[in-house]
Structure 1
């Protein structure tokens, strides 16, 4: 089982897509959204049920879901290029 991730910092949030290559040969996506510092750190993890044919598709989906969560809470327009 391998987890491959990158992080995107958005204000006080750190969005980390987590992609796993499954035994069936497809890719599973989840995302971690961390906020706070030190003992006040809070980490939300969302796991998604769709499976993807490629790492890139799973990564894109997880990133967009995480950034969408941040957008809902901050009202900001988050764009990753």
Structure 2
């Protein structure tokens, strides 16, 4: 199975929910992951979540039925960020 990646961005001033800012598989997924690492963006590996998020169109907000899963991602990011402080 090819590696897959989905990137989220969230601007609380512009959006009600996170937006799919990049997604892809294979070489594209590797580039997304590389760029995230270069910029210190936390990475959460969750194949089921990637499958769900990859169905959302690029530059579209995550739909409400996925909020619980996204909340888990934000909780993960928060815990990682706290550990680094």
Normalised to the residue count of structure 2, the TM-score between the two structures is 0.28
Q: Higher relative contact order by CA 8 Å / sep ≥ 6: 1 or 2?
A: 2
Higher helix share: 2
More strand by share: 1
